[in-house]
Amino acid sequence: MSVPGRSICIFGCGNTLMGDDGVGVKVIEKLRTLDKQCLENVEIMDVGICNLNVLNKMNNKSKIIIIDSVVTGLKKGSIIRIDGNDLLTRNHEQTPILSLHEMSISDILLIAQYIQKLPEIIILGIEIGENDSKFSAKLSPEVLEAIDKIVPHIIREINTENAEQIKYP
């Protein structure tokens, strides 16, 4: 069950035709099979390849949890947590980050901060190891295994009012 009085939305990003890049969408599919009580008052959305349309979906939300594939150099299948504010303060010229989509999450957040009040934003990423440009609907075994591992992290984010309290390995 989510924190009372909060409006939380979970975005799953990815292209399911590009193998591991589609993991955010696959996590959304997994969440839709869970007990509805743990996701009470939580909106769950497949936002696909993440473009400016997500800005409208952020309106009137107190917290957005974004699930996406990441390429950071960590072990494939690792789960990483990034505070949205960290993306806004990062030097984007030197650090290409987070997306294989039309626009990166950091690009969308940079635009959003100028046109609307941003809610608390948390990115939970699953390391995919590399940007593979082959068409495939299959996930690698490591990324597939990470789907089950990320669910408790998502539930913890939903149930925690102050995200700074959450520490990841």
Query: Which domains does the chain possess?
Result: 8-158 (3.40.50.1450)
pTM of the entire predicted model: 0.82
Please state the rounded mean pLDDT for residues 23-30. Answer: 94
> What integer best gives the mean pLDDT of the chain?
80
Flag whether pLDDT at 76 surpasses 60.
yes
In this predicted model, what pLDDT tens digit does every residue of 8-18 receive, in sequence order? 999 998 888 88
In this prediction, residue 37 carries a pLDDT of: 75
Please state the rounded mean pLDDT for residues 35-52. Answer: 79
Show the beta-strand stretches assigned E in the chain.
8-13, 42-48, 63-70, 79-83, 120-127
Indicate the pairing of strand 120-127 with strand 79-83: antiparallel
